[in-house]
């Protein structure tokens, strides 16, 4: 995603008259972004070789709908691969409720099961 007014967004052109160098786009809306709202925490505290529950909290700038998947990369973590599993902890009404771990990628996916 991109943040609002992301300076990395640029425009350039190659024309018959010559090349127009990349220029930053000064105004742009956020697209598929979580801004600075992402928080990660564990319960109980995680230690190498032990299991724990990982919580991720974020506020998306875009609408999420049933079946959307958010992928969280944790490359230093390991664990057994799993398929989509229900989250058993109580969650707020607008929360995802299915997760899966991919050990080779060091990622888990959170699938939204409720409409936002």
Write out pLDDT tens, residues 55-74.
777 888 777 777 777 888 88
Q: Which two tokens stand for residue 24?
A: 């930053």
- Name every residue whose Cβ is closer than 8 Å to that of residue 49 and which is 6 or more positions away in sequence: none
| Between 93 and 71, the higher pLDDT residue | 71
Q: In this prediction, what percent of the chain has a pLDDT beyond 90? A: 16
* Residue 84 confidence (pLDDT) above 80: no
Residue count of the chain, please give it.
Answer: 116
| Three-state SS letters, the chain | CECCCCCCCEEEEEECCEEEEEEECCCCCCECCCCCCCEEEEECCCCCCCCCEEEEECCCCCCCCCCCEEEEECCCCCCCCCCCEECCCCCCCCCEEEEEEECCCCEEEEEECCCC
Left, alpha or beta for 67 (phi > 0: left; psi -120 to 50: alpha)? left
* Residue 6 confidence (pLDDT) above 80: yes
pTM of the model: 0.56
């Amino acid at each position: 995603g991109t943040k609002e007014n992301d300076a990395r967004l640029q425009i350039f052109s190659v024309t018959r008259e010559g090349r127009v160098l990349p220029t930053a786009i000064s105004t742009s809306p956020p697209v598929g972004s979580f801004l600075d709202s992402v928080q990660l925490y564990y319960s109980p505290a995680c230690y190498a070789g032990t299991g724990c529950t990982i919580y991720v909290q974020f506020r998306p700038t875009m609408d999420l709908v049933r079946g959307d998947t958010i992928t969280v990369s944790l490359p230093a973590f390991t664990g057994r691969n799993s398929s989509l599993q229900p989250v058993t902890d109580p969650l707020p009404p607008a929360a995802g409720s299915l997760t899966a771990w991919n050990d080779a990628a060091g990622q888990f996916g959170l699938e939204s099961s409720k409409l936002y």
